[in-house]
Structure 1
């Protein structure tokens, strides 16, 4: 723990100790007011005007102290939560390795529907998941955790990070706890103004084959099925959507011979 953190914690502790002492003083003062009022009542159940004033002042003063201290303690607890949240955001922002100009990331801070082509048991299929980049509060970076369900029904957590270089958007995702399983996507034309973007990805499939594949980011669903491995009909439709969208803005070079 740094010296600054220790000083801050010490300051919080001293402040809380003083608050508790003042709170105790308020409670005691209120008690004195109530006790004085009880003692000042004569045999006929009456209290003189000076005694009423003294009792009222003590009770009001004690009650005011108690109320003020409780308000301060509640506010300090809220401030601590806000400060801790800001500290967490700052730490996560600074430790992110994929950084961009924060203003450029504004166009990517949206919930995205993500589609990608992969192989499963020797068959080409499209799969679907969501990239909730609007939930990332990091400064200068985009990073979110998502749940990915495998074809066997197991759910794994993945860390998805993104950065922008000029008009290129790159997305890097990996299974948490497994640094070897990395999925890299490149979207060559990303200006943040369109509803759909088409790119290519490099990933190791569940069949343990490294492939260069098709990827799509969309602000809205492109097909009817929205969970895991998509149907054959939806996969065929996504093939066509990617072919038209990617080749409209990009050329894939042929062989030199």
Structure 2
């Protein structure tokens, strides 16, 4: 059983079960978002992109396919080991903690699909924004694609059962101490597994506060993957572009 909530993301994201539960994520939508975003930002041809918390690299691989020089980094050693099979001379993957600068500068740094707000220590969230800033070149843009916490909380499904690859996942969702929490339990080979995802319910004001502290400037805020205007109560996403 996973009881160490301070490092839940290192254990849960490193299991094969995380990837089984979420294997049906919509690649078509993700690809359309990457097309729109790179066009909107006008990233130069052959431009460099850092995909921060890249998981198994689905966004990074597509960005590379449409012409960019991409580095994908993630804390999960298993995810990076999986992603490395797709490497080429303009696509690299590396194990890295996003709280720290990567040591190179890029035309864009993308933090996609709610890959932020996992830390129990607030300083780590600020450190991540500062690290993104350090990883941007003079004309570079940072992008954080987060959930719209207000929309998620108002539409929370408290309990759900999902069967994928013959595994029945029992999901429970709730809000606790400013975090949106998902309890995940399932049986494999007569062994019970319990994991928990915890993401801080940041809103736009919270991000603006972090940006101010990190001395970065918020340029645009969108509410979905079609880059439509952000609406506090109805937008599903909170997509922020800054530099």
Normalising by the smaller structure, the TM-score range is under 0.3
More strand per residue: 1 or 2? 2
TM-score scaled by length of structure 2: 0.22
More helix per residue: 1 or 2? 1
TM-score scaled by length of structure 1: 0.21
User: Which one has a bigger Cα radius of gyration?
Assistant: 1
Q: Which has the higher contact order (CA 8 A, sep 6+)?
A: 2
